[in-house]
Amino acid sequence: MTVRILVADDHAVVREGFAALLAAQPDFEVVGQAEDGFSAERLAIELRPDVVLMDIRMPCQDGVTATWQLLRETPDTRVLILTTFDLDAYVYDALRAGASGFLLKDSTAGQVVDGVRVVAAGDALLAPSVTRRLIAEFAARPVAAEPDRLTELTARESEVFVLVARGLSNAEIAAALTVTEHTVKTHVSRLLGKLGLRDRAQAVAVAYESGLVSPRADRSLPRMTPKSRPRSDDRCGHDA
């Protein structure tokens, strides 16, 4: 099965480099390139790629807003965010917007290829270390978000949910709960289904927003929503 990919980055050298890397894979097809968020959104809706490799900082419309918008129109598309964790204050917003994973800008070629494959397969690219760092740096104070949804979970599913949100892998959860890794995968699948979530990435967001797990309050950062983030730039030539 061929994975159809859209690459979005405002730096031509970076964009074309990623496109060339991915196009060289026998099971990948790069169907388009976008130089800003508006173009990424438009092309994703038009081309319906399996995966969008999305830069988070772009002119006209950033990658987070583009992710919000395109996933409303193409819910089967997966978005893999490119970021520098030390600088990007919108990473948590990208998680909330529906991004399925994150790659550091200095990732190796192999990591980029593997990351696209992971996301295309329907999994979330959230290694435990990345999850912990993301939460520590970008999770703002949680806001109550449909707590009634959590009552549908069994006690064991709730335990697993908390551990997923804290960044543990399936193997680590299995060891903590003294169960098999297959059992953990079953619990994760069931809790995602009950909560109407597409993957572990969204599970992390819901766990923190519902208050089931609390981020470090002293590291809270303000977040911008798509409504408050600028939609356009006079220099871009796009309609808002």
Range of the domain at 203: 147-214
What is the total count of domains within the chain? 2
Alpha-carbon span 58 to 61, nearest angstrom: 6
Amino acid 125: pLDDT:
74
Rg (Cα) of the chain, in Å, rounded? 18
* Model pLDDT for residues 85-98, shown as the tens digit of each residue: 655 567 777 877 88
Taking the C-alpha atoms of residue 51 and residue 76, their distance in angstroms, rounded to an integer, is: 9
Token pair 């597409």: residue: 198
**pLDDT (0 to 100) of residue 166:** 78
Count of CA atoms in the C-beta half-sphere (13 A) of 172 = 12
With respect to residue 219, please indicate whether it lies within any of the assigned structural domains.
no
Helix (H) or strand (E) holding 176: helix 170-177
In this predicted structure, the answer to whether residue 138 has a pLDDT above a threshold of 70 is: no
Same domain, 124 and 154: no
CATH code, 49: 3.40.50.2300
pLDDT of residue 32: 97
Place of tokens 């978005």: 79
Q: Read off the pTM.
A: 0.70
**CATH number (domain holding residue 190):** 1.10.10.10
Packed helices 155-165 and 170-177: angle between N→C axes, nearest 10 degrees:
130
> How does 102-124 read in b/e, with b if 16+ C-beta sit within 10 Å?
bbebeeeeeebbebbbbbbeeeb
For residues 57 and 119, what is the distance between their CA atoms, to the nearest angstrom?
21
Does 221 have pLDDT greater than 50? Answer: no
Q: How far, in Å, CA of 115 to CA of 124, rounded?
A: 9
Same domain, 80 and 129: yes
DSSP code string of 178-196: TS-HHHHHHHHHHHHHHHT
Q: Are residues 52 and 116 in the same domain?
A: yes
The answer to which of 34-38, 53-57, 65-69, 209-213 has the lowest mean pLDDT is 209-213
Note the pLDDT tens digit of each residue in 80-133.
Answer: 998 776 555 677 778 778 888 888 878 889 989 998 998 898 777 765 555 666
Q: Of 78, 103, 138, which marks where a domain is finished?
A: 138
Average pLDDT over the chain, rounded to whole?
80
CA distance 54 to 80: 6
